[in-house]
Structure 1
């Protein structure tokens, strides 16, 4: 079995690497790596694998940036740990008509620089997102917005051009002070928000340091500092958690590492099925991948089951849609693509790509598959490559540091890639990903998919407040997308958090958000008592 053989080789190499790293770190005094500013008792240190790409919530698209921003900025409304929409900066939300959203803001909220947060700051934030000169990727979610009024310093009213069932999702953006206008592009260098933590410093490839904001409207956090250590290598993240240099990891390690954490009495483990969705994306303007038979062949060539069992250790659930099975808009009976390599080869023949030498080594064609330097992602990519080789497709794997990789995907510089959509809740995400009007930079249709019927269905669902109408429209759209395969649906993830037992009160969110750490408590380390 290829996967089990690769697993044994990987374990051997990994164990040798772990031993070497332990020796190196011991010689360098591992405890010093955390530096004095992460002293136990007053800081929680989170291990992450990549740098954030952006500290301005109007401009970011990646998950790490969003997770860090949640601590710095507050939103009008947000999601709680059950995925329910709740008030945050708003203390009242009224919808007198389908075209009007009226918010009354909390009194006494202040930004980290001491400025009072008022309706004019809310208006500035959303007006700037709509400004074409900012080129915000979040502008697509505000296309239905006609104007914003601020009748009082604590009242803000959004007027829509047409009904939008998902407009509330577009309001879940961190609010900036209007003084950010003067800072321009430099605002992200020292961001100012009203969240539970203030920005202190960012050392690329090393750490992000935040400090507790004593003036936060929900009360000052129970510990002084929140530090994100940027550790691209999984081995280092694991060793740092075990040695105490890091206090918290979530979804930042391979599933086969989990048993060693279970046996560590100093650590807690929390699991929860999440809404994160992993897929393979196609560039539909590519002369090979534009052919439906080729995409179907690739779907039948890939065998997800051994990856789920041997690499993910059962911590994912196979997906047939962006939406998990228990979501209200998930459609039953969607097309599924069983592992059928013989059918895949027949489809490739029919697409005009015959095998040039039968069982010989020559491929039908070659594709480039892009991924990040995440170790788990690279292992899975290697398995995909072997599976595609069996049907005559040569797959060249190209892995890049996160910023370069994500930049290529945003700019359409790819044939094949795999990514994860984080925190899917409202099915209107289908519109941003697959509507022909939302190709970059206006939206997230990076594969350049076009289907007039899908466009019409997604518009119908977007404009209706009737859940039944929306479910029917999304259901038909899912069936069409399942047949036409702009994506190969892979799996939904189980979120796994592993953290020091000194941390209490942390809840795992369905979208893998870290924000529950803001309300967590931290017991003193043994040496601090």
Structure 2
């Protein structure tokens, strides 16, 4: 196989091309060896977040990648397209014209990895448990619109929603709706530790050191009944402290595949490698990066301060100098390629303009320079994050309108806890969409119980625009309401969008299925991988 970069076209939600396999026994192991996937990130247990593999707590891309392999959901996202399809369910659908009652019939003979039967009561238990625990930094907000869950019999589940939600089938495809064993998982508290009991395509053996997961070993589940075709018998997910170590492991053949977390320099180096057994695949992505504000913090509570920041941030410079064009400038929380996207921030603020920012601050009687700290997670979002925030600091302070310091936080869970607790005036965040819909780039950040615990509120978005979009089964018809919401956010600036990432997967050339390895939200689909032969 040609090792040069393969570039795949965009397709809303997921990727849909096909590649041919070629062959030898070169690589990280023999033909029947586990496929080894490298991850440059850490999954850790802390006092505040003691159950990183419990669906009631887990709400980050790396933990969800583990959960997707071990738990089933009623629905799942297909290889291509944005319409969810049945997974643990045999069939699902709305049973009313208002999108308020959703009914599913389970496949027969489902059981958990411990041999317990999986019934409709386990589904109800799992959803009710998520909402009862209501973990602060967890995914509960995705299912907030459920009024009640009924189980007419062992195989039927009926969801009654408090309001219409055409995106509900997609939300049931996320690990937030993972089905857990009601005989194992506590009803009112988190399931601490590293073990999982699910009914997914794999069983899991977790290896850990102290409070960190070091390896996740996935073994094909012989009792799995679902819609996925599992193309391997075993996958090992190994966690690295940094992307340089992961890159070196791939080149040595110690791992077979890696994705996410590579620096632009590493991507270019792998693309230009003379090793014919390495290949790099580029694909569209819908990961976004943004600055979030605690809108009650005195330093940034006046929206004029936030507007002035939006007027001077140079996104093009960031993606050029920090990310080497492996990302694109972003002018809305809704990224390009998602139905309803508009460049609302560019329309309102245009190119970086210090004079305009100065006028904005003067009209609001803001004394300059405005002093605050911009906080970021050192390791969670990749090796270039520190450089990115140093560049932002330089941009802002060069205007003389701001006096910004930057601070990196070592541990992700500590960063998340402090951010949601309102301890940071402004901080950097990323978002990997739960579902491929504009709703998921707006609704999780707005209103009571939002993902960031942000104090920002906007009644029109929360009570009019989002509810209106959720009545539209045809998502194109929801575009005008999404556009209004984006314009409001550009004016209020509770967030400043920065860039939209492209996705890269690097692999040994005896690994097949890498075109399906990641979807556009960076969900890792390990069941698609297989070991072939190298060229």
Report the CA distance between 1:524 and its aligned residue.
7.1
Do the aligned residues in 1 keep the contact of 2:137 with 2:417 (CA within 8 Å)? no
Tell me the residue number matched to 1:176: 180
Higher mean alpha-carbon deviation, 54-63 vs 173-182, is at 173-182
Do the aligned residues in 2 keep the contact of 1:435 with 1:458 (CA within 8 Å)? no
Note the alpha carbon deviations across 1:245-270, whole angstroms, 9 max, x for none: 22221122111211221223222222
Do the aligned residues in 2 keep the contact of 1:46 with 1:247 (CA within 8 Å)? yes
- In the alignment, which of 494, 500, 508 is matched to residue 492 of structure 1? 500
Q: Where does 1:243-322 land on structure 2 (aligned, <5 Å)?
A: 243-262=252-271, 263=273, 264-322=275-333
Query: Is residue 198 of structure 1 aligned with residue 203 of structure 2?
Result: yes
3-state SS of 1:165 partner: coil
Tell me the residue number matched to 2:15: none
Do the aligned residues in 2 keep the contact of 1:353 with 1:365 (CA within 8 Å)? no
Tell me the residue number matched to 1:234: 243
3-state SS of 2:73 partner: coil
CA distance in 2, matches of 1:339, 1:94: 47
Note the alpha carbon deviations across 1:466-494, whole angstroms, 9 max, x for none: 64663222221111111111111112211
TM-score (norm 1): 0.83
Report the CA distance between 1:136 and its aligned residue.
7.8
Query: Is residue 74 of structure 1 aligned with residue 72 of structure 2?
Result: yes
Higher mean alpha-carbon deviation, 292-301 vs 346-355, is at 346-355
Do the aligned residues in 2 keep the contact of 1:329 with 1:471 (CA within 8 Å)? yes
3-state SS of 2:190 partner: helix
Do the aligned residues in 1 keep the contact of 2:333 with 2:442 (CA within 8 Å)? no
TM-score (norm 2): 0.82
The total of aligned residue pairs comes to: 478
Tell me the residue number matched to 1:9: none
Do the aligned residues in 2 keep the contact of 1:435 with 1:450 (CA within 8 Å)? yes
Tell me the residue number matched to 1:449: 456
CA distance in 2, matches of 1:286, 1:431: 22
Unaligned runs of 5+ in 1: 1-33, 356-362
Give the structure with the larger helix fraction.
1
Query: Is residue 42 of structure 1 aligned with residue 33 of structure 2?
Result: yes
CA distance in 2, matches of 1:133, 1:486: 24
Tell me the residue number matched to 1:105: 106
Note the alpha carbon deviations across 1:314-342, whole angstroms, 9 max, x for none: 22222222223332222466434421123
3-state SS of 1:186 partner: coil
Unaligned runs of 5+ in 2: 1-27, 45-51
Query: Is residue 125 of structure 1 aligned with residue 126 of structure 2?
Result: yes
CA distance in 2, matches of 1:106, 1:350: 63
CA distance in 2, matches of 1:261, 1:157: 49
- Higher alpha-carbon Rg: 1
3-state SS of 1:428 partner: helix
Note the alpha carbon deviations across 1:30-76, whole angstroms, 9 max, x for none: xxxx9xxx888421222222222510112212111111111111111
Tell me the residue number matched to 1:91: 90
CA distance in 2, matches of 1:236, 1:135: 33
CA distance in 1, matches of 2:136, 2:399: 42
Do the aligned residues in 2 keep the contact of 1:92 with 1:104 (CA within 8 Å)? yes
CA distance in 1, matches of 2:374, 2:415: 13
3-state SS of 2:69 partner: helix
Do the aligned residues in 2 keep the contact of 1:341 with 1:390 (CA within 8 Å)? no
Query: Is residue 62 of structure 1 aligned with residue 60 of structure 2?
Result: yes
CA distance in 1, matches of 2:301, 2:260: 34
Report the CA distance between 1:462 and its aligned residue.
4.9
Do the aligned residues in 2 keep the contact of 1:130 with 1:136 (CA within 8 Å)? no
- More relative contact order in 1 or in 2 (CA 8 Å, sep 6+)? 2
